Amino acid sequence: MNTTRPKTDTYRSRFGLTHAPLPRDASGKSFFDQTAGYQKLEMYFQELLDEPGPGLLTAEAGVGKTAAIRNLCAALPEPDFKTVYLTDVSAFDFYRTLALELGLKPAHRKAELRSELKKTLAHLVDEQHTLPVIVIDEAHLLPDSFLADLTGFLNFAFDRRTLFALWLVGLPPLRSRLRMQHHASLDSRFAARIHLEALSREDFASLVDHGLKAAGARDKLLTDSAFELLWRASRGNPRAAGKILRQGLRQAHRKNQNLVDDYALTAALDELTPSKEAQP
């Protein structure tokens, strides 16, 4: 007996979409790389490839810092570059994971492990002509002890060279922490600093248009008033916009509409906003 349920109709089939618009894992053609902030980051990213050193990337949650750095790294050709992505690490976890990524058997003592890593990094750059690009995400969660330890690890050959490009990626408080006196040595080493703001209205309109077309839309799916509501409600935050837009498409589908109007988008916002009764 066949118990398979028939596939239910979805908003994607109604609107001719191959996937959800504005996904968090956007990559390749689905990633929008024409915002002013991304293009500025791209410039700094290239500069750190030409002259390796540490860079600092901050933004509020949902603006797209991780997606931006991920797409820049994805475009790097191998074996010219070796990308290592790390998140939520302690100092020893950082060295251990980095060692594993570079094909080393990690030593049990941190001092020995750091020494082995520096030799391997030097060999990678000087003999194999491969530049490591290391990304530490959620860097605002790193303890002060890690940041202090990182300063020493960046010191190669009496501070005469840097053997890898390093990006610390995190929320805005990371910038304030690094300006504190006890992190002055690390702070002075940053060769690039960039803070991504929420999108301007122009960039936001281009993002939404690109996101829908990349998902397969051939026709206009948002009324002008619905777009204005989406812009105001999301405040130019791509992650928030994606959630609201997808919920708006679902609401329009439930109402048997082929266009998302401000009524469908208002219903989407109501559904995404916790009710006062549910709040503590």
Q: How many domains does the chain have?
A: 2
Last-in-domain residue among 196, 215, 235: 196
Span 39-98, pLDDT tens digits: 999 999 999 999 999 999 999 999 999 999 999 999 999 999 999 999 978 777 888 889
Q: Taking a C-beta distance cutoff of 8 angstroms, is the pair 260, 223 a contact?
A: yes
Q: Is the pLDDT of residue 5 over 50?
A: no
Give the C-alpha separation, 209 to 11, whole Å: 17
- Per-residue burial over 223-256, b = 16 or more CB atoms within 10 Å of its CB, e = otherwise: beebbebbbebbebbbbbbbbbbbbbbbbbbeee
Give the CATH number for residue 227.
1.10.8.60
Tokens of 76: 């790097």
Strand ranges in the chain using DSSP code E only, listed in sequence order:
54-59, 81-87, 131-137, 165-170, 192-196
Do 65 and 180 belong to one domain? yes
Give the domain range for residue 103: 36-196
Do 192 and 206 belong to one domain? no
Tell whether 1 is covered by a domain.
Answer: no
Q: What is the pTM of this model?
A: 0.90
Tell whether 27 is covered by a domain.
Answer: no
Tell whether 180 is covered by a domain.
Answer: yes
Question: CA 120, 123, 128: angle at the middle one, nearest 5?
Answer: 125
Do 188 and 205 belong to one domain? no
Span 220-254, pLDDT tens digits: 999 999 999 999 999 999 999 999 999 999 999 99
